[in-house]
Structure 1
Amino acid sequence: MSDIEVTSVCEEGYTTESEIDGEWSLVVDALSEDGPSPNQVLAADYASCYIPALRVAADQTGYDDIGHVEVEVEADLDEDDDLESIAFTVKTEAALGEDAQEIVELGEDICHVHSALTESLHADISIEDDAF
């Protein structure tokens, strides 16, 4: 048995419904009419993976709780609608001071989506600590 099992079905058009590990459903539409596009899902997935990775990185650096964390994602597409670049602006409630960049980089090392993407699509990450 695999660690992750997904069944994706498209009856017609460009909308695909995926059943993930028998527990969750996800609708993705290449035209962004019935759901987010695959590129939109990837951008959201990347941020959703990076936030807990950042929390673990902060914990490993000595911060028990960094409070509210928000990631604003900007992604650019090329003329073929392929992802060309991704940038994150990360805002944390906690003041991380001189540790901020170390925590960002450790978060990159921990994030599974970051590891799965080609280096040219790794997010360009800026952090604004003590933001809330």
Structure 2
Amino acid sequence: MNVENNKQPSGSLKISQDVLATISNFAAEEIDGVVSLADTYAPIKNFLKKGSIGKPIQISLNDDVAVIDISVNLKYGANIPAVAETLQKAVKDAVQNMTGITVSKVNVHVAGIVFPETAPVQQ
């Protein structure tokens, strides 16, 4: 008796944009020079609405291809182009490897620079 093992999916898989944002967040936190994620302002059409501050990671998903916008605060003295490039690669690789979703772009928005805290002067 010859029985074929058909490996057909028994359902569907949907990954929420929040999961993609979480993966992106963890990837960003690992990059030297990134201090934190930064809140962004929502588009002007929503400016007057309550809660016009946007999330630091925005995901656009179209036909299983993602575009990720991430806003960050960088450490003073960091090489901004180098940190941005490293961040783009890390986020893209993490999302693609964990989800199988193609990431076409990772847009990095540098929202601020964080200066080191100076020690209080003792008198």
Q: Distance in 2 between matches of 1:53 and 1:86?
A: 16
Which structure has the highest helix share of the two? 1
Q: Which position in structure 1 is the counterpart of 2:49?
A: none
Give the secondary structure class of the aligned counterpart of 2:90.
helix
Cα offsets for 1:97-126 (capped at 9, x unmatched): 1221122213433x2x4203436x225211
Q: Which position in structure 1 is the counterpart of 2:27?
A: 53
| CA shift in 2, pair 1:54/1:98, >3 Å | same
Aligned ranges 1:49-128 → 2 under 5 Å: 49-56=23-30, 58-59=31-32, 63=33, 66-69=35-38, 70-76=56-62, 83-94=63-74, 97-99=80-82, 100-109=84-93, 111=94, 113-118=95-100, 121-128=102-109
How many residues are matched? Answer: 81
TM-score w.r.t. the length of structure 1 is: 0.48
Q: Distance in 1 between matches of 2:99 and 2:26?
A: 18
8 Å Cα contact 1:89/1:127 also seen in 2: yes
Structure having the higher Rg = 2
Cα offsets for 1:24-47 (capped at 9, x unmatched): xxxxxxxxxxxxxx74x4322011
| CA shift in 2, pair 1:123/1:45, >3 Å | farther
Identity %: 8
Q: How far did 1:86 drift?
A: 1.1
Paired residue type of 1:126: N
8 Å Cα contact 2:27/2:91 also seen in 1: yes
Gaps of 5+ in 1: 1-37, 77-82
Gaps of 5+ in 2: 1-12, 39-55, 114-123
TM-score w.r.t. the length of structure 2 is: 0.51
